[in-house]
Amino acid sequence: MSGLDELAHADDGGLEQTAPVWAVFGDLMAGLLGAFVLILIGVLVMQMDLAANLEAEVQKRQVEEQRRMALEQALAGPLKSGRVTLNNGRIGISGSVLFAFNSDQLRPEGRQLLKSLVPPLRVYLGERNEMLMVSGFTDDKPIQHSNERFDDNLELSAQRALTVTRALIAEGMPSARVFAAAFGAEQPAAPNTSEAGRAQNRRVEMAPVPKAMPEPQAP
């Protein structure tokens, strides 16, 4: 074998040894590039989801703010008088304005106040196809034994909510737009550690809520 043949044979052997190394390196780079592309796509999808969720939250807050402003505008008169409060869409009325202590009989001034609320609330509920939930609340003091009409605070709050509901209907609120709920001493607005706090807890609240959709009928 000549020197040239030996050199050529040696070069062929070197190529045979080095070629697999470059092939493995190419496969490794292709795999890394693919992984990088997958990670990039995942990051982009996450960013799109975050942007969509943020936009939905912003729209939700805008709707809630518009709702709050519309309710404030509708109740501008009663709110100005100071006998009605509005907090997070809940219309609050002190129990002492509506009822005597441990009673479910409306005071005359309480009925007049409810009468003034019906026209703006009718318009507000009708425009949004919503209902009005009337909720009764009490403080945590047990019902006095001298009061034989109610067994406990839950029963008293239920009867007061029903009384307000019936008064609203009597003053023109459509019966299909209003319903009553009772919470008794649950969900206090202030601590029951003082007379001022207990007075805040003896209250009736009214809150516009979405109208329940009818269930689809079975075929």
Stated pTM of the model: 0.68
Q: Tokens representing 157? A: 């709050």
DSSP state of 99: B
- For 60, list phi and psi in degrees, rounded to 5: -60, -45
Q: May I ask the CATH architecture of the domain 81-210?
A: 2-Layer Sandwich (3.30)
Q: What is the pLDDT of residues 15-60, one digit of tens each?
A: 455 556 666 667 777 777 778 788 888 888 888 878 777 777 777 6
Q: What is the pLDDT of residues 144-169, one digit of tens each?
A: 766 578 889 999 999 999 999 999 99
Q: Which of 64, 85, 197 minimizes the C-alpha distance to 128?
A: 64
Domain extents in the chain: 1-74, 81-210
Residues 123-151, buried b or exposed e (16+ Cβ, 10 A)?
ebbeeeebbbbbbbbbbeeebeeeeeebe
Q: How many CB atoms within 10 Å of residue 90?
A: 16
Instruction: Give the Cα separation of 94 and 218 in Å (integer).
Output: 46
Q: What is the pLDDT of residues 64-116, one digit of tens each?
A: 667 777 787 878 877 887 888 988 889 999 888 999 988 899 999 999 999 99
